[in-house]
Amino acid sequence: MVAEISANIRQILENIAARAARAGRDASEIKLLAVTKKVDDNRILEALAAGITILGENYVQEALRKQALLEKWEKPVEWHMIGHLQTRKAALAVRFFDMIHSLDRMELAVELNKRAQATGRTIKVLIEVNSGGEATKSGVSPEQAPDLAKSAASLKNLSLQGLMTIPPPFDEPERARPYFARLRELKEEIAALRIPGVQMKELSMGMTADYLIAIDEGATIVRIGRGIFGERK
């Protein structure tokens, strides 16, 4: 099992490198984030031992528990919040995460900023875009994203670094391509607005089933769970 996790990671890193080369991209600009929801601590430690440096969590409480257990791990680890974030969890999120991928409303931006200011830090955020317009998913519509970027830019303790999306689920990964392409275009549109303080450099997109397509379309962070740890319980 243990050897399996490191073999999976090695394979994914090779796939990323090969796909980046094919797409004429520099593989060093693509980060692999390991999604650890419902994954046992010893398996997370194996992934860290195999070279993973960014962990993605969907739930604040689960992340807090894991961070306490993983305190023994001495190398630097970045924790990213990739799930929907409730406003009342903003204070905890600011303390325990390095980046929030799920900024989807101004109310949350204001609260994150306030909490970040209180602790004297800046929190990195990505705007989550509901690229498929699905009723069940959070995220702003592509049309709303530039306005949220403009409003959030005035908040001094937030550092807006890019966009995130989860396309609708498809059996055929190729069908996710237009949603990834749309996110890349949107990143360029927002970058062209030259909003002071906004850096449109990250595109968090692509999961186990479709990360290679996402790399073709410009992903800089791929979020992979099952591909590293196997099917979730």
Ligand X SMILES: *Cc1c(COP(=O)(O)O)cnc(C)c1O
Which residues here bind ligand X, judged by CB under 6 A?
Answer: 35, 37, 58, 82-83, 166, 207-208, 223-227
83 or 142: whose CB is closer to ligand X?
83
65 or 232: whose CB is closer to ligand X?
232
Task: Give residue number: closest CB to ligand X.
Answer: 225
Q: Cβ(99)–Cβ(124) under 8 Å?
A: yes
Distances (CA, A) of 139 to 166, 175, 188: 9, 20, 18
Distance from chain centroid for Cα 73: 22
d(CA 204, CA 165): 7
d(CA 25, CA 94): 32
Q: Smallest gap, in angstroms, from Cβ of residue 162 to ligand X?
A: 15
- In the numeric block, the tokens 């591909």 are attached to 227
Q: Smallest gap, in angstroms, from Cβ of residue 24 to ligand X?
A: 25
132 or 227: whose CB is closer to ligand X?
227
Q: Smallest gap, in angstroms, from Cβ of residue 102 to ligand X?
A: 8
CA torsion sign for 59, 122, 197, 108 is positive
84 or 184: whose CB is closer to ligand X?
84
d(CA 211, CA 213): 5
Q: Smallest gap, in angstroms, from Cβ of residue 2 to ligand X?
A: 19
d(CA 65, CA 37): 12
5 or 82: whose CB is closer to ligand X?
82
Q: Smallest gap, in angstroms, from Cβ of residue 9 to ligand X?
A: 13
